[in-house]
Chain A
Amino acid sequence: MDLHLLECRQAVGAWRDHHSLAAASLINGASLAALDDLDKQLGKADLVSLLWDPARFAAPLADRLMRLHCEEKLAAAIDLAAVDLSALSSDYAALATALSRSAPDILYPVAREPSDAELQSPPETASAQANLLPVKPGEASPETPSWLTGRIGEMSTWAFDRAGRAAETAGYTIKDYSGLHGRLRDAFRVRISQAWMASSGSPRPVLSQVLLMFDEVTGQVRSRI
């Protein structure tokens, strides 16, 4: 047996473990920071109006804040992973370079922001749901990468259900400020868990994309040795 090869394969496996787990922690850390930001924004009067329909606003807000807290750190984490890979063996230098250059290729979810008009017209009844949810399954905003189409479809379907409940309970939820906060936070978390932190899904959540990068590199190394 060539023990050196086995050792190399095991070392790159340990590298994958270390950086994959670190990436998951990083994204969770970003979600904590994003939730903090959300709490700060909840205090603003204009945002209160959005709470008529928490679900509709959670996804775009979550995506914006998550990207703010994630993008740079994730790029740095991928760079660090590339440096560590190079340190394992000079044979992996090319792969490490490729990995490092792939950070900008991560596709970040961008859910469609509600329009001003939508912000001004809170739902009145459950029957008005269709008008209140302009994002239909399968549609995407021009800024949205095509791979996100499916995800937005899922989210709008999900928002549809939530909107029904929001309208029915508007009479008392408006008085329950903390309850609204909780619902927005829950919707925020759902978006993060589905579009950012899930290990699989279509389109691929951000964490899944990063894990795939590390898996690809590991697979390449294993196939070469």
Chain B
Amino acid sequence: MISALITMAPLVWRAIPDDAKIGLANGSLRLFGSVIRRANGSIAYHLQEAGPLASILTSTDIVGATPPSLGLSLSDKALRLVPIAQNELSRQRLNAVSEDIASLGSVTHEILGQVTNIDARIETLELLAGGTLALNAAGIGLAAASFARVEGHLTRIEGHVEKLGGQIEAVVGRLERIEHEIVISDLDAIRGLAQLFEESWALEDGARSESARRRVFEDGAKLQLAARRRAEAHLGSEFDYALASPHLDVFALISGLRIAALIAGNETTAAKQIEAESTGHLEAMTGRLGLVDLVGQAMSSGVKVGTTQWDHDHSAISGLLRPAVETMRNRERLLATRTSCLELLKQNEVSPRDWLEVARLETEAPILVLASSPSASRNSKS
């Protein structure tokens, strides 16, 4: 691992380099999942979540378990609006919700400001999350997949599922309750696998460590399939994206965990294969969905056409659901860029496992930035 540090030192940043900040601001660079790309599509930087990220994102200083900088609250809020919008969405109601969201945004901004004062390291996260919601439930980069990070994701997903459970209790029967309990049980199983993966790093016996990772990979397959089937069920004829969303998050999460388990064992070919398969499945589920589909669902009843009210609601609902669509696109991008830096590591003769360990043991930076070439790095550092 020390050799990895030495080899990678010229390429590694512990904050977003100035060149990248300028490029992101002027559009010559753009964030795409966990990589920063140039206008010609080539990758300039890779982002790697590091050890401190978990503690920052789960810090009680930042509004409980939901990281405000990630925009998740906004998208979740927008999703909750769908059923509201279906029920005779009135201007007053919509305005009230809009104000609610606006105030949520200002609170977020305020909290971010406080956090920035507390810890300058958050600047990196702000920059990434501010415009593009780079970080979401799928995690980023070669996920260090620490238990704390997975736990944070699961807590949020569970919160969503619990809410749905409350609705289920009120309106549906025994079968749906059983299904709901199975979902909760699966989330616990994912939590168990995340814990096992975390522990695998501490095992000195290589064979036992390998066995633990293999179990994460293999047992995760079943959970991944279950999450996919549940999401597909809600994206089919009885389309309801709000119900599908937590299952899509679970799918992305368990996919990331499986890929991380492979990377930790230096199984790069298999990791790329699982990344491609998982991204393919995710894209098959959500790639064809867009804002027009969610807005169409929300506008399906109530408001009279040929009125300014329709225009108002159409525009307001589009605005409210836009973050949910951005989250959807980011989920696809993040899953597709899980293994993107493996080639760079190979070129520099650094094993993926060593690089993951560097990231896990990082104590300062929440995200490590890996320049694709020393020249890019030098330009920024000079």
Q: Quick check: A31 and B305 within 8 Å, CB to CB?
A: yes
- B35 touching A3, Cβ below 8 Å: yes
- Residues on B with C-beta less than 8 A from A34 are 306
Q: How far is A22 from B310 in the complex, measured between Cα atoms in Å?
A: 13
- Our pick among A16, A29, A188, A189 for the contact of B290 (Cβ within 8 Å) is A16
How many Å lie between the Cα of A7 and that of B290 in the bound state?
14
Query: Is there contact, CB below 8 Å, between A6 and B318?
Result: no
Report the separation of the CA atoms of residues A21 and B290 in the bound assembly, to the nearest whole angstrom.
11
CB pair B291–A21 under 8 Å, yes or no, is yes
Inter-chain CA distance A197–B329, complex, in Å, is 28
B332 in contact (CB, < 8 A): yes
Q: How far is the CA of A14 from the CA of B293 in the complex (A)?
A: 12
Chain B residues near A6 (CB-CB < 8 A): 279, 283, 332-333, 336
What's the nearest-Cβ distance from chain B to residue A19, in Å?
A: 9
Are the CB atoms of A28 and B311 closer together than 8 Å?
A: yes
B282: min CB distance to chain A, Å: 10
Q: How far is A14 from B328 in the complex, measured between Cα atoms in Å? A: 12
Are B304 and A32 neighbours in the complex by a CB distance under 8 Å? no
Could you count the A-B residue pairs with CB atoms below 8 Å apart for me: how many are there? 86
Q: CB within 8 A of B32: which of A7, A196, A197, A199? A: A7
Report B15 CB to chain A, min CB distance, Å. Answer: 24
Q: Which of A21, A192, A219 is B292 in contact with, Cβ under 8 Å?
A: A21
Residues of A in contact with B, size category:
20 to 34
Are A35 and B314 in contact, with the CB atoms below 8 A?
no
Q: For residues 192 through 219 of chain A, which have their beta carbon under 8 Å from a beta carbon of chain B?
A: 192-193, 196-197, 199, 211, 218-219
Chain A, range 1-37, C-beta contacts under 8 Å to B: 1, 3-4, 6-7, 9-10, 13-14, 16-17, 20-21, 24-25, 28-29, 31-32, 34-35
Pick the residue among A1, A31, A199 that contacts B337 (CB under 8 A). A1
Check B287 against A29 for contact (C-beta < 8 Å). no
Cβ of B290 and Cβ of A17 under 8 Å apart? yes
Tell me, yes or no, whether A73 is within 8 Å of chain B by CB: no
Given contacts A25-B314, A32-B307, contact A7 B41 (CB under 8 A): yes
Q: Is the CB of A211 within 8 A of B292?
A: yes
Q: How far is the CA of A28 from the CA of B288 in the complex (A)?
A: 25
B340 touches A13 (CB 8 A): no
B276 contacts A1, CB within 8 Å?
A: yes
- Is residue B357 within 8 Å, beta carbon to beta carbon, of the partner chain? no
Report yes or no: A29 in contact with B311, Cβ–Cβ below 8 A: yes
Residue from B291, B306, B340 in contact with A31 in the complex, judged by beta carbons closer than 8 Å = B306
**Which one of A3, A192, A218, A219 has the highest number of Cβ atoms from chain B below 10 Å of its Cβ?**
A3
Q: Are B310 and A28 in contact (CB under 8 A)?
A: yes
Whether B336 and A222, one on each chain, are in contact in the complex, defined by CB atoms closer than 8 angstroms, is no
Known: A7-B41, A24-B292, A193-B304. 8 other contacts (CB 8 A): A3-B35, A3-B340, A6-B333, A13-B329, A21-B314, A31-B305, A32-B311, A218-B288
Listed from nearest, the 3 A-B pairs whose CB atoms lie closest are A31-B306, A20-B292, A17-B291
